[in-house]
Amino acid sequence: MRALKFALIIGVAAMTLPAGPAMAAEACACDAQDNTAKSAADRQFETIYTAEYEWRTGQMAPDEDSGSDAGAGLPDVGPEKQAEKLARWTDTIKALDALDKDALSPENKVNYAVYRQQVESLLAAQQYREYEKPMTADTSFWGDIGYWTRGDFNTAADYENYIAMMKQIPRYFDQQIVNMRAGLKRGFTPPRITLQGRDSEIAAVVDAPSAEESPLYAPFAKMSDAVPAAKQDELRAQARAAIKQAVVPAYSRLLTFMRDDYLPHARTSLAAYDLPDGKAYYRSKIREFVTRDMSADEIHQIGLDEVAKIKARMQNVMQEVGFEGTLPEFNTFLRTDPQFYVTKPQDLLDRAAWIAKMFDGKASQYFGHLPRSRFAIKPVPASIAPYYTGGRGGPGIYLVNTYDLPSRPLYSLPALTLHESAPGHAFQMPLAAENTKLPAFRRDTYLSAYGEGWAVYSEKLGEEMGIYQTPYELYGMLSYQMWRAARLVVDTGIHAKGWTRKQAQQYLLENTALSEHEVTTEVDRYIAWPGQALSYYMGELAIVQERARAEKALGEKFNIRAFHDAVLELGSVPLPVITQRVDQLIADGGVGPYPDEE
């Protein structure tokens, strides 16, 4: 997924919030008692978060979830800057502790809960020195540089900023290497198995026959007509020089480091428990990505229970289509029968576009308030496609992976499209960004439990909307639901229960219709990114449970559009905030935030 100009992807720790309507009543009582003190507390809080968030946005590196604003340059990730971050977030927590929280307005009580947990999550990551492991199984700081090549280049200044950014790559890479050496020394690395082949991404830049054929030269291949021809020639010459003099040497040093030092000496164990202070570290990642303080055992059992429920539905579909055999045999049939696959990349893109338009035809029945933003459908770049997931989306973009077409089944494409485009990431994230009633730290920040939970809920909603046209497509959705439920079992199994890589792969192969290629890349992703996989199904469960509660409480007054609008107006929040918002929806008699649009 991606965000607009800037998005910070974090999870947040568990939180305690007042119950929904009670919170508003309590706040009203505070208003009556001491308006002056409350106003002062609000001003103090807003000063804290405005200053910190403005500072925070300047510390972040480019990635798939941030914009491609090359004018921002590459951040400082050296030791002094890391110490500054630790001190800043420590001081911010102290300042929040000193606030009179009871005197905050109702809106700022919610803002406080969201903001505090953002900062607590950032502080925890800094305390565990996660900057010493700047990569997962399918993302990396060097790969993220490529996202700038797909940014908006309209003026000469855009190209000049990009060239200036390329000149910063040597400093940036050298700092990252120093951090990685420190992580290597203390055994804080991704497991070696998840790093296989990752050096090829770096080598693609080093081994490019010429500067013009470098992946980083892409913005200059066809430049904006708004830039005069003479200026284009000048900028192209500067870009070639930057690639030769700065980019290639920096990538060469990184390639040598990766091949000679990092890859051979990365840790061989898989579990987060095996990292320094591993049990506490994994518990912190659960808090971050689930936004609730839960144990690995609790989540593992939820996963087992949900897998059993979904498996029963999958077997019903298998029987409906008349397949005689076991569920694993049916999954093998789906993985191997040519009827479920295309042979041309454009055919996959075309099918995804058709599904997206199917949603457009039904959107007004399920959503009162729609985003202004639209999205393009594009293939995942070839340089990262072998290690990338089947698709990702966000404001302005839905990336479809056309690499290895025999691993991209059509029966899963409707669920994937609903998740990554609309009403999933390319729908929810623009709505947050366009909601100017929210402070920037809620508009622009992405919480996995909320965002991924909403996207998985969007897949489930597709059945109700009539998006799945065949039993096989319904099975594809169920397989995706199973995939996310199985993640609860696999992630906790790997990081807390000693599961092997093969054991995790086999569990997914037996319980889902994912291709073997997808199973391999997904398991490696879970191994390299502890806890993140938990956010999807735990987030969906929360939304499904809150919808059921609203339906029961409101009866005939329940309005699906009002419910969706209420959840989506929140921005990106921890799961307990959704409960609080549904409390308010029920108290309001089912009237949502945009009654004129319902």
Phi/psi at 134 (nearest 5 deg)? -85, 50
3 state SS of 569: coil
The alpha carbon torsion through 165, 169, 170, 171 (nearest 10 deg) reads 80
Structure tokens at 281: 């570290």
Minimal CA–CA distance to 72: which of 24, 153, 5? 5
Q: Which pLDDT value is given to residue 62?
A: 58
Q: Which pLDDT value is given to residue 342?
A: 97
Q: Which pLDDT value is given to residue 38?
A: 57
Instruction: List the beta bridge partners of residue 394.
Output: 397
Minimal CA–CA distance to 37: which of 106, 84, 103? 103
Phi/psi at 211 (nearest 5 deg)? -60, -40
- Phi-psi category of residue 183: left, alpha or beta, with phi > 0 → left and psi -120 to 50 → alpha: alpha
Q: Which pLDDT value is given to residue 61?
A: 66
Phi/psi at 95 (nearest 5 deg)? -65, -40
Q: Which pLDDT value is given to residue 445?
A: 86
CA dist 487 and 531 (Å) reads 10
pLDDT by residue for the chain (598 residues), tens digit each? Answer: 333 333 444 443 333 333 343 333 344 444 444 455 457 999 999 999 999 999 998 887 655 555 445 556 899 999 999 999 999 999 999 999 999 999 999 999 999 999 998 999 999 999 999 999 999 877 899 988 887 877 789 999 999 999 999 999 999 999 999 999 999 999 999 999 999 888 998 999 999 999 999 999 999 999 999 999 999 999 999 999 999 999 999 999 999 999 999 999 999 999 999 999 999 999 999 999 999 999 999 999 999 999 999 999 999 999 999 999 999 999 999 999 999 999 999 999 999 999 999 999 999 999 999 999 999 999 998 878 887 888 999 999 999 999 999 999 999 999 999 999 999 999 999 999 999 999 999 998 889 999 999 999 999 999 999 999 999 999 999 999 999 999 999 999 999 999 999 999 999 998 988 888 889 989 999 999 999 999 999 999 999 999 999 999 999 999 999 999 999 999 989 999 999 999 999 999 999 998 876 6
E strands, 357-484, in order: 376-379, 391-394, 397-400, 445-447
CA dist 310 and 508 (Å) reads 13
**Which contiguous run of DSSP H or E holds residue 9?**
strand 8-10
Phi/psi at 566 (nearest 5 deg)? -65, -40
Distance of CA 553 to the CA centre of its chain: 32
Q: Which pLDDT value is given to residue 3?
A: 35
Q: Which pLDDT value is given to residue 148?
A: 80
Q: Which pLDDT value is given to residue 381?
A: 87
3 state SS of 517: helix
Q: Look up the pTM and report it.
A: 0.84
CA dist 333 and 215 (Å) reads 39
Q: Which pLDDT value is given to residue 60?
A: 76
